[in-house]
Structure 1
Amino acid sequence: MSEVDVAIVGGGLSGLSTAWRLQQTAPQYSLVLLEASDRLGGNITTQAAEGFIWELGPNSFAPTPALLQLIAEVGLQSELIRGDRHLPRYIYWRGQLYPLEPTRPLALVTSNLLSPWGKVRAALGALGFVPPYLGSGDESVSSFFRRHLGQEVVERLVSPFVSGVYAGDPQQLSVAAAFRRIAQLEKLGGGLIAGALRLRRQQPPQPKPLADVQMRAGELGSFKQGLAALPRAIAQHLKAPIHLETPVQEITPEPKGGYLLRSGEQTWHARSVVLATPAYQSAALVAPFRPAIAQVLASIPYPTVACVVLAYPAGLGRSVRPGFGVLIPRSQGIRTLGTIWSSCLFPQRTPAGWQVFTSFIGGATDPDLASLSEEAIVQQVQQDLSRLLELPAAKARLLGMKVWQRAIPQYMVGYPEQWQQVTDALRQTPGLFLCSNYAEGVALGDRVDHGNRTAAAVTAYLSGGHP
């Protein structure tokens, strides 16, 4: 039996970030990281061949101060690459591609994506002319944005965004959980604009970016060799032992404090445990001693999503124009949720003469995808790209594809109340911490931020304070 202060179960970015921050801020505590698979990184899945580099999970990251700090600490400054922040995001609507530039939000006023009435309705709502929420309890994403900005914005902007980010259904997702920052604006100022102005005045000054690790608003980042460079660099700098292919089958609380963890014939005794695993795996581990937590975690749905990466000869189709990618509202009869124009976002990772497209299909609004074969999924994406971008299926070259049977956790209506139940139960479970993308956001920056906060809570607990 090995004795440690902290056992971290799960080697994705959540677990690695927690381990790294503990090493940086509380090196007096021993820790071990246990990962069930044969690699680190969780959903981060970078592949390369014949000069191509592509992703089968997350494709890029938006900067947060904590994420940029982590990149500097593990020595990846020189490997950082930045996508052009002016690349438009396209919405496919009634056979046309409508560009939206993140650095020019007012350009929506001149766009034909919304009707004249749709623009007026959105403007009135943004200024504060918003009907009250008449429901009880949590509100859905669809209901919130319909009240504030109107049905056209929901159908043509919010819905495709939710499909692209969460692979979710806006009628089922909780706005307080999935869009918590935007939902807070209503409480601060009534309308979204007034709330944003008031929030800006209340926010403390942001920490100064570290030298050589700076990104501007709207930029998306990655690394020359793909996102897998980040978990690889963290692991190389960690002093703690990392055990791959070590699935934890059982966690048992000890009467005198601490926990026993068992993986096959190996056993660890840990004063504290961080579960950085998906909700359904964490539920199975805590069910014997905290069924209240297990019940909530087991109820979080994870829809099936497939990622398909296709290369085409350069110059074909409508993609000759620059762009980040395209999102497709569910009402347009195209099964693909969205496509990233990877060779335009990070051109240095595609050989000359080629263009690469990363498409996502499935999600909460398409549960039947789980029954399709991989060949059928690829064919469907090829057909959709032919319709979206006039890319001939016969010219497609499959670089890679992966079916994520349980892809992205869904923050369903009622989630805030459920998570409060988990929080209350954790207070009765000293030394147990949860850190995964079913809480605190699914983006890579969210995972690093959550890992840092978890490390601080673990340190407070081990030092005799309050986590």
Structure 2
Amino acid sequence: MSAPRRVAIIGAGVTGLSAAYHLHRAGAAVRVFERSDRVGGPVHSTRDGDWLVESGPNSIQESSTELTRLIQDIGLDEVRSPAQAAARNRYILRNGRPVAAPSSPPGILTSSLFSLGGKFRLFGEVLKRPRVRRSDVNLADFVRSHFGDDIVDYGLNPFVSGVYAGDPEKLSAKHAFPSLWKMERETGSIIRGQIKAAKQRRASGESAGPPAIISFQDGLGMLPLALAKQLPPDAIELGASVNSLVRSADGWKLVWNRSEQTQTESFDRVLLALPAAALARLSIGSLGECPLAALADIDYPPVSALFLGYRREQVSHPLDGFGLLMPQKEHRQILGVLFSSSLFAGRAPAGHVGLTVMMGGVHRRDLGTASQEQLTKIARAELAAVIGVTGEPVYARLRQWPRAIPQYTLGYERYVKAMEQCENQHSGLLIGGHVRDGISLPNCLSAGAKLARRALA
């Protein structure tokens, strides 16, 4: 019997842990190297008495049977926390007041979110024919060609601010939202493409409706911890900085250090599940080359997540939704606010509510790194104006990400090609994660599973 394949995974975020989990189940000998002192990257939850605060993502869409199966297999099904009924609405600010986004075709007709012209463009979009574009376009122009300006301003713009903290006028349609790009090529109409995708999900036994939004009893941070728990006790090295990767006769030599002590280990495969800046710095080769140096140019705008707790009577809005997003045309200072305690149970003490105010992003980079005092002052003024919050918060906690979310901007193809070229030139070296496979949590989990399959091939 041959020895198990030895695989090094650099990065213990969700992608790296997912890869390690699938490889371990397949019988490979895995080692995970993480520079920080904990696993999970931005996926981290903090329980402070009766308050529960997320440092990064606040929810995950249960978008596939594979994800459902993973949750069951790693023992999280019993602590699965579905979104509450109170979170049914998605609010978008228009003319200074929150308007619930329509959730059905009849709702579009009666909604005040879109103009009459915008509504006509929505229903006329189903007549679009398949289109093969010769070159990539920015996401705003792509959506505008289907639905017009009104949908871009009050549908796409706030959505992109909430997901990417970015600007749809700069993002690549092909790379930021590849599913829409594919729908246009195959069906012409985005609406017909979505109907087709729903039918395909139904035919495969999956729900044709929107994916369930879930978390866990003690927050999303339970996910990376549960993945790590499935690995052997000595599989993960925290506080480990990888200095270089050098090709050897039978695989790869990995040089890493911790507490100024340098160590060397040999592996058959090396998987890179790192942010762009770390990939750009990584020495790969005997001459200290950095073949991924171009990735240093990928934009990661800073984002601040300020969690504020209030007594329920301090907020006049019913908070009957997921949250409230701010279109750029409304000229607000925040990206949006999540109604955290409405979204999931157990996020705030009885008689209180928790709100997560998102600030920063590509349009207000200064607020991604500002002080808590300054951010709290801005947040209080904004919350008072848009959802009727009064008085001072009774609880506050700030988490900032100086490099938060990679922007899949026009021209992103060159970064994808740099990663492909690096893999082609270095057999047994594989790259995946949010810099390549999409930024959502399901994307990152799938990226890890894909890396594991490639490593075993």
| Fold agreement, TM-score > 0.5 | yes
Determine if the alignment matches structure 1 residue 160 to structure 2 residue 158: yes
CA contact (8 A) 1:35 1:247 kept: yes
Q: CA deviation at 1:290?
A: 9.1
Paired residues for 1:360-439 under 5 Å:
360-370=358-368, 372-392=370-390, 394-439=391-436
Q: CA deviation at 1:137?
A: 2.4
Give the structure 1 partner of residue 244 of structure 2.
250
> In the aligned structure 1, how far is the partner of 2:251 from the partner of 2:231?
27
Name the amino acid aligned to 2:128: G
CA contact (8 A) 1:56 1:400 kept: no
Q: CA deviation at 1:165?
A: 0.4
Determine if the alignment matches structure 1 residue 232 to structure 2 residue 225: yes
Determine if the alignment matches structure 1 residue 44 to structure 2 residue 43: yes
Q: Write the deviation string for residues 281-303 of structure 1: whole angstroms up to 9, x where unpaired.
A: 01111466796841332221110
Q: CA deviation at 1:249?
A: 2.2
Q: Write the deviation string for residues 336-366 of structure 1: whole angstroms up to 9, x where unpaired.
A: 1011101111133321110110111111122
Q: CA deviation at 1:121?
A: 2.1
> In the aligned structure 1, how far is the partner of 2:183 from the partner of 2:408?
19
SS at match of 2:313: coil
Determine if the alignment matches structure 1 residue 274 to structure 2 residue 271: yes
Name the amino acid aligned to 2:46: Q
Determine if the alignment matches structure 1 residue 260 to structure 2 residue 260: no
Identity %: 31
The unaligned stretches of length 5 or more in structure 1 are 210-214, 461-467
Give the structure 1 partner of residue 124 of structure 2.
124
Give the structure 1 partner of residue 138 of structure 2.
140
Name the amino acid aligned to 1:76: L
> In the aligned structure 2, how far is the partner of 1:274 from the partner of 1:194?
38
Of 90-99 and 80-89, more deviation after overlay is shown by 80-89
Name the amino acid aligned to 1:188: E
Give the structure 2 partner of residue 62 of structure 1.
61
CA contact (8 A) 1:4 1:269 kept: no
Q: CA deviation at 1:327?
A: 0.3
Q: CA deviation at 1:246?
A: 1.0
SS at match of 1:114: coil
> In the aligned structure 2, how far is the partner of 1:422 from the partner of 1:412?
16
Q: Write the deviation string for residues 238-274 of structure 1: whole angstroms up to 9, x where unpaired.
A: 1252111112122222255323232241222112111
> In the aligned structure 2, how far is the partner of 1:291 from the partner of 1:299?
17
CA contact (8 A) 1:84 1:219 kept: no
Q: CA deviation at 1:305?
A: 0.3
Q: Write the deviation string for residues 382-403 of structure 1: whole angstroms up to 9, x where unpaired.
A: 21111111102x3313331111
Q: CA deviation at 1:58?
A: 0.5
SS at match of 1:33: strand
Could you tell me which of 334, 346, 349 is aligned with 2:347? 349
Q: CA deviation at 1:106?
A: 4.3
The unaligned stretches of length 5 or more in structure 2 are none
> In the aligned structure 2, how far is the partner of 1:307 from the partner of 1:321?
19
CA contact (8 A) 1:71 1:77 kept: yes
Q: CA deviation at 1:75?
A: 0.9
**Cα distance, 1:301–1:32 mapped onto 2, change above 3 Å:** same
> In the aligned structure 1, how far is the partner of 2:237 from the partner of 2:33?
5
